[in-house]
Structure 1
C-alpha cells in the first residue's frame, strides 16, 4: 500500500500569496475537528517572526478528495472565509494552525475580524494591531495591496530616519513575498488510506485521531458525530462520567455494531445511514449508562480516571448492548474477567485486534455463558506484588485503589467511615497515604520497594496531616491505643495486620509489607475467581 500511496503524492513549494488565494477561493479548506489546542497570540507572532527571518516553519499536508467534509471557519480568534463547495478540495491535515495564522494576518481584508497584525518598523517586531497605531507600524493585511502599500511607504518620508524605515519595510516585504512553504498533497486517497497517515501527525503538539477524521468524514447537514458523542456524554453527566473521550465512544459504537474495534470496522461506521447511526447511538447510550452503573455499584469506580483500561468500558458496553440485565452468574464472570485483566495488565499497549478478540471471548463467556476458551490473565505472586510501585496511571495501582474502596475502609485516625465516592471521584493524592512514610523509610535506609502497592491505605485528606511522616513504630501503637476496642475492625478495613497479634512498636517494614500483601492477595484470590468478600 505504501508504494501505491507514494505515487499519489504531489509536492510543491508555493508562495504565501498562492496559499492565501487558494483559501479565498475555497480550494484549500480546514476540516472541522474537535481540537483541544488553539494557538495563542504569542505563538502566532513567533510564526510571523520566523517567516520574516526566513526560517523554515515546517511543511503542510493536504488531502485532495471529492468527499465533502465538514469545514471549520472560526478557530478561536482566527477567521477563515466562507466559500462555495469545490470538487476536489484540498483539506488541511497538518498545518492548520500555521495556515490559519498566515491567512488571518496576511490574507484577510482590513477591518475584518480575526488575528490582525502590524510590524513596528522602529522596534522591528510584530504585534497584534492596536486600536490606534502609529504611521511607523505597518499593517500586514495591506502587504499584497500595491496601492495601499506604496502609500504607506511614501508616508514614511516625513520621518527623519525615513531611509532606514523604508529599508526595513522593503526587507520585510521582500522576505514575505518570496517566502515559500513546502506542501505535500495526498491525491484522492481513501479514508482508510489517509487514516494511518493522519494518526501519526503530531507536528503541532496535537495528536489527531481516528475520531477526528470520522467527525469530518461522516458529517452531513443532518448528522454530526460530535453532536452524537455529546448526547452520550450528556446522558452520563448525572452519574459523573460525562468526560468520556470521543475515541472511546467511537470504539463502543464499533464494538456494538461489529463485535470489534479494528480500524476497518471503526471506519465502516461512516457508511451507516443516519437512521441506523441514530439507532446505534441510542443503543450505545443505554449500554454505557448500564456500564457506569455497574462500575459504581460493583467496583466502586466513580470516574473514568479510576478505570484500569479504556478496553474495560468498551467490553462492558458491548455486553450491555446484548443483555438488558445481568444475572448473578453473569456478574460473577464479569468480576472474574475484570480483576484478572486489571491485575495482569492485560490491556497494556493492547492493539485493536487484541481487544476485538477479547470481545469475541467475552461474548462466549458472559453473553452466552460458555466456559472461556482463553485465560484473561493471572494475578501477581506475593513477591511480585510487594515490589509493584504505586503509580497513578498504572492499572494495578488503580486496581489496588478499587480493592481498598471495596473493603469499606475507615480512617485510621478516628475510625470514621471513608466515603469512596468522595475519595475516588477524582484523583486526589491527599486521599491516599503511605502507612510506612517514605521519608521515614529513607531515613532508616529500609530495604524493599518504598512505594509498594502494599504500603498504601485510603485516608481522608483532612486526616492525612495527623500522620504525616511520623515513625510508624510510634504513631501506629498510638492510634491502636486511641481507637481502643474498635482498633481491630478499623485496621482490618484497611488490610492492616491484627493489632492483637502484631507488635507494631517493633514491626519492621519488610515484615509489614509481607503480612499486608498476604492479606490483600487473600481477597484478590476471591475476586479473580468471581467471588466477593
Structure 2
C-alpha cells in the first residue's frame, strides 16, 4: 500500500488568462493514462456560461513534476512544447482546462466542439455562425482585447454593445480557478490519486479504464480508441463511434466474450489460449480492430442502408459485425445477403429476447461466429433471431434516440432524399457533415407542419418529419413553405416536363405527392398527415420485407450444399438453416 503524500497539497488560484497561457506554451501537460476529451459543444457552453455568471466551476488537481520537450496534441491544439523542470500535469480537471484552452484559441476553434461565439444582443454563448454576424463575436476575439478593438473598428454600428463586450473580456480573463498542487515524485502516488478521484462522482467508462491500463510509457504516442473512431468518421463520414463500442469491437475480434477481464488482455501468459490471435500486441489489435470496423461500417452503408452511426438501431450490432468481418473479411454474395437479412431481423427483434438484454445479446451473437466456418456462423446468427412473426415499428411515436425511429429513418434513406431547394440527392458526406459530433440524428430531421398547427394526437407521428440534412438555399423558410411554394432555385424549370419530373422526384424522395402538397396548400394539415402516415407505414413495411426477407428460406450458398458422396437426393434443411412463414 502507498505511504501517501509526504506533504499536503498547496492551494493556489490561477486566472483563466494565465491558465490557458500555460497550456498554449506547453507548461500544462496531461498524463498519458488520462481519459480522452469527451465533452461536447453543450458541455463547453455550460462551462463558459457558468464563468460569466460567476458560478464556481470546481477546483483543479495539478501534479508538479518535470516534463520533456515534445509535440503535444491537446484537443484541436498542436503545441511544440519545450522541456520544463517544473510543469503542471492535470490529474483532475482536464475537460475544463482543455475546453478553455481550445475554445479561446483560433486554432482550437477549428474543432466544432470548441467553435463558439458570444451573441452580444441575446447575451448568450452560441455555435459560431458560418457567415460572420457583427453582434456575434468569436470567443478567441472576445478573449483578446486587441482583436476585440479591431472587431469594433470594423463594425462601428455596434457602439452600444462595446461596454458589454469589454466587461465580458475582463470577466473571462480574470475569472479565478482554484487549484491544488501536489509535489511528490512517486508516479504510484499519482495513480492512486487518479484512481480515487475517479471512483467518486462520474465513474470511468470501461473504455477509459482499458485505455489507462494499456497506455504504454509516458512520452510514447500510440493509437487510442478515439483515434480509431476518428479515422472511421473522417474516412467514411459515419459519425463518431463512442469509445466503449470501439473497445467492444476490438475485444470481440479477439474473442467472443467481450465481458472478459480487460486487465490481462495483452502480454500475459495467463491469457494464452483465450485470444483467437495469441501473441498480438495492443497496437496490432487496434489496427486489426479498426480494419474490421471499417469493413463492418461499409457493409452497413452499402448493404444494410444504415448511412450513419446515429441511425444504427443498436450499437451492439456493430460489435457483432466487426467480429464477423474480422474472421470473414470478404464474404461471398450469398452469405453477405444472409448477413443483411440477419442484421434487419436482429434490429427488429432487439436485445430483449436475450437473457441479460444488451450484454446477453452481444455475448450470445458473438459466440455464434466461429473462425473458419462462415456458413455455420451466418446460419447460427439467423437462428438466434428467429421470432414467430415480424413486428412493424409503431410510427405514431417518433424519437430520434429510439431504435424504431432509427429503423424508419434508414428506410427513408433508401429513397435517396433530395434537397427541395436544389433537387440534389443528399449524400452520405452531407449527413456526416450535418451530424459531425452529434449523438442523435435530430439535426438532420425537420418538421413539415409547424407543431402549433398539428392536432395533439398527431404531434408525435413520423408523418410530420422529413430526413433533410441539407437545404442549400432559402434555409430560413419553414419546410412546409418550401413544399407549398417551390423555391426560386427550381422555379425556372418547373414550367416544363423536365422540371415537373424533377419536382416529382423530390416529393417522392420524401414519401410525398402533388396531391399531398395540395392538402397542405389548402390548409388541410390533418388530412395531409393522415395520407403521409399511410405512405410512411407502407414504405417501411416494404423496406423491412425486402431487407429482412422474413418469408424466405435461409438457404446457405449452393457450394455449401454439395454432399461429399455426390448423392442426387436433396438434403433436408435443419431448423437452424431455414424456416418458412409463420
Q: Indicate the TM-score class for this superposition, using the shorter chain for normalisation.
A: 0.5 to 0.7
Deviations for 1:287-316, whole angstroms, at most 9, x for unmatched residues? 122123223322455543443333232222
- 2:431 aligned with 1:424: yes
Q: Which residue of 2 aligns with 1:357?
A: 364
| Shift in CA distance, 347/421, structure 1 to aligned 2, threshold 3 Å | farther
Q: Which residue of 2 aligns with 1:438?
A: 450
Deviates more, 1:254-263 or 1:307-316: 307-316
- 2:414 aligned with 1:406: yes
How do residues 368-517 of structure 1 correspond to structure 2 at under 5 angstroms? 368-371=377-380, 372-375=382-385, 385-391=394-400, 393-412=401-420, 416-427=423-434, 431-435=444-448, 437-439=449-451, 442-443=452-453, 446-459=455-468, 460-462=470-472, 468-470=479-481, 484=500, 489-496=505-512, 499=515, 507-517=527-537
Deviations for 1:232-263, whole angstroms, at most 9, x for unmatched residues? 75477433458544433322221011113105
Q: Which residue of 1 aligns with 2:37?
A: 36
| Shift in CA distance, 260/280, structure 1 to aligned 2, threshold 3 Å | same
CA distance in 2, matches of 1:243, 1:297: 18
How do residues 111-510 of structure 1 correspond to structure 2 at under 5 angstroms? 201-202=200-201, 208-221=204-217, 226-227=223-224, 230=227, 233-234=230-231, 237-240=234-237, 243-264=240-261, 266-271=262-267, 275-343=280-348, 345-346=350-351, 351-361=358-368, 368-371=377-380, 372-375=382-385, 385-391=394-400, 393-412=401-420, 416-427=423-434, 431-435=444-448, 437-439=449-451, 442-443=452-453, 446-459=455-468, 460-462=470-472, 468-470=479-481, 484=500, 489-496=505-512, 499=515, 507-510=527-530
Deviation at 1:468, TM superposition (A): 3.3
Deviation at 1:36, TM superposition (A): 1.6
Structure with larger Rg:
1
Question: Is contact 1:308-1:396 (8 Å) kept?
Answer: yes
TM-score with structure 2 setting the length = 0.51
CA distance in 1, matches of 2:394, 2:318: 25
Q: Which of 541, 547, 553 is the equivalent residue of 1:521?
A: 541
Query: What secondary structure, in the 3-state scheme, does the structure 2 residue paired with 1:373 have?
Result: helix
TM-score with structure 1 setting the length = 0.55
Gaps of 5+ in 2: 12-29, 62-71, 97-177, 183-187, 269-277, 436-441, 553-582
CA distance in 1, matches of 2:290, 2:482: 50
How many aligned positions are there?
394
| Shift in CA distance, 438/228, structure 1 to aligned 2, threshold 3 Å | closer
Query: What secondary structure, in the 3-state scheme, does the structure 2 residue paired with 1:457 have?
Result: strand
CA distance in 2, matches of 1:500, 1:212: 51
Deviation at 1:92, TM superposition (A): 10
Gaps of 5+ in 1: 1-7, 19-28, 48-54, 61-72, 84-90, 99-175, 182-186
Question: Is contact 2:253-2:323 (8 Å) kept?
Answer: yes
How do residues 3-82 of structure 1 correspond to structure 2 at under 5 angstroms? 15-16=8-9, 32-36=33-37
| Shift in CA distance, 253/198, structure 1 to aligned 2, threshold 3 Å | farther
CA distance in 1, matches of 2:511, 2:285: 44
Deviation at 1:462, TM superposition (A): 2.7
CA distance in 2, matches of 1:398, 1:200: 35
Question: Is contact 1:344-1:379 (8 Å) kept?
Answer: no
| Shift in CA distance, 413/517, structure 1 to aligned 2, threshold 3 Å | farther
Deviation at 1:12, TM superposition (A): 10
Higher helix share: 1
